[in-house]
Amino acid sequence: MSFANIYGHTKQISMLQKAMAQKRVGHSYIFSGLSAIGKKTLALEFAQAQNCENAALRQDACGQCPSCRKTIHGSHPDIHVLQAQTQFIRIDDVRGIQDQMTFRPLEGGKRVFIIDEADKMNEPAANALLKTLEEPSADNILILVTARPFRLPQTILSRCRHLRFNPLAAGDVARFLTEQKRMEPAHASALASLSGGSIGRALELDAEDMIAFRAGLSGLLRDAGRRDPMSLIVLASFLGQDKKHTQQGLSILHTYFRDALVYRETAR
């Protein structure tokens, strides 16, 4: 794995590499943006680069050295990922990180701690983490990954470098699906157009089911365009079949009307 294998997020990658080149890597970061767009993946890649034995040559992980191989296999002793095991991340979880931060890195690089869904920290956990942010250690890097940064206390937000991630371009999502999941290009494109820029969301959808659903919705939209009141009732009934179809249908409608507006503006 290297930054070159990350889909999209070139601006964020450039910022991290620049910090590495200038030896100005921060002690704490917030990676925020839509769920399942690659924030944690990039955090792990950044952690790998911080510990790669050859990273100084190009501000990236080589993917071949012993340190990189351990990271790839999830066994690097200095890279830790905390995920909520219940509804909340609790103070004991944060204290576990704090205990590990008192030790020097075992392999000479940086200890990197990634807290996924950091917005799930309850108040005692957030207060405990604040003490760590107020007294940073040069040997440790903390990365908070969240789709809801507004749920983090302002005191935490103000003490971290904040990297904001945009939804992926549909082309990046489709490229991931064809390259990593071996999907047919037509299926990948259909899923990408419904994904809202989220690889995770695209993976949750069934390609053939979505293509059939989209075809049915397209037919109903054509009928609705004739301003037949009954066709609007049929369209509403179609979208209301179940929650899954409602959400997907609204996503398709959003894409349809957005594309129509773009076409109208460019045709003027």
Can you give the pLDDT at residue 243?
66
The residue among 110, 116, 107, 100 whose CA lies nearest residue 41 is 116
Residue in the structure block whose two tokens are 């040559």: 57
pLDDT at 266: 75
Contact residues for 133 (Cβ-Cβ < 8 A; gap 6+): 28, 142, 156, 159, 160
Delineate the domains of the chain, giving CATH numbers in brackets: 3-165 (3.40.50.300), 170-267 (no CATH)
Indicate the residue type of 111. Answer: R
pLDDT at 72: 94
Query: Which residues are 112's β-sheet partners?
Result: 79, 141
- pLDDT value, residue 127: 96
User: pLDDT by residue (tens digit) across 109-160?
Assistant: 999 999 999 999 999 999 999 999 999 889 999 999 999 999 999 999 999 9
Three-class DSSP category at 58: coil
> Is pLDDT at 262 greater than 80 in this prediction?
no
pLDDT at 225: 64
**Per-residue pLDDT, 2:** 84
Structure tokens, 127? 């207060």
46 versus 267: which is more confidently predicted?
46
Q: What is the pTM of this model?
A: 0.82
What are the residues whose beta carbons fall under 8 Å from the beta carbon of 77, sequence distance 6 or more?
A: 70, 106, 107
Contact 109, 50 (CB under 8 A): yes
CA dihedral sign of residues 20, 21, 24, 29? negative
Q: Which residue has the higher pLDDT, 64 or 193?
A: 64
- Residue 42 near residue 145, CB atoms below 8 Å: no
DSSP state letters, 136-171 = --TTEEEEEEES-GGGS-HHHHTTSEEEEEPPPPHH
